[in-house]
Amino acid sequence: MSDFIYKNAFVERKNFSGRAFEKAYVQFSSFQEANMSYVRIQESGVFTGNGWEDCNLFGLYLEKAVMEMDRFKRCSMGNIKYQGMIMEDVRSRGCAYQGSQWIASRMSGCVFTACNFRSAHFQRCVLEKTVFCGCIFDHTILEEVKMNRTVFRNCRFRNMINLPEKGVFLKNCIFETQING
């Protein structure tokens, strides 16, 4: 099995769909309209300072990966499984995270703008100094999620389960039937 390695690269319209890689090392690269649907990174991954625009990452599986300073724009990221993921200073704008799973993961200093988290599931996660602006959280489930200085601004919550009461700042959000477990 090979590794997924890119450094200072420009990758446009490349198809990686369904492939499995042992590890990933991706640094300061630009991906445009790349298809990484159902790609599986087996052991670990390090992603630093990459740009992802109009990419299909649907069903991607990342385990024990570290992502720092990556930027996502209009990417399809539904049904992604983030297992033991660490995200720091990541920016995401206009991305679709429907049905994504975040298990034992940590976000710090991240910003999500106009993203869709419908039916996402966060389990045993920590969100620190993370901002969600204009995001949709319909039918999103939070289990054992800890938040510290996490901000939700102009977001919509419909049938969201278990939004913590501590460490969360809400501004101009719309709540429709919040369910606390």
pLDDT of residue 169: 78
pLDDT tens string 86-134: 999 999 999 999 999 999 999 999 999 999 999 999 999 999 999 999 9
CA atoms within 13 A on the CB side of 43: 9
Whether 180 shows a pLDDT value over 90: the answer reads no
Q: Per-residue pLDDT for 147 more than 70?
A: yes
Closest CA to 3 of 30, 28, 22, 27: 22
Considering the chain, what is the average pLDDT of its residues? 92
CA distances from residue 129 to 5, 71, 95, 106 in whole angstroms, order as listed = 30, 17, 20, 11
Compare 170 and 13 and report the one with higher pLDDT.
Answer: 13
Q: Name the phi and psi angles at 113, rounded to 5.
A: -120, 125
Query: Domains of the chain, with CATH numbers?
Result: 4-176 (2.160.20)
Does position 162 have pLDDT exceeding 90, yes or no? no
Distance CA 32, CA 10 (A): 8
Instruction: Tell me what the mean pLDDT of segment 159-181 comes to.
Output: 73
* Mean of pLDDT values over 27-49: 95
Question: Which string of DSSP letters, residue by residue, matches 40-94?
Answer: EEEEEEEEES-EEES-B-TT-EEESEEEES-EEES-B-TT-EEES-EEES-EEES
pLDDT of residue 175: 74
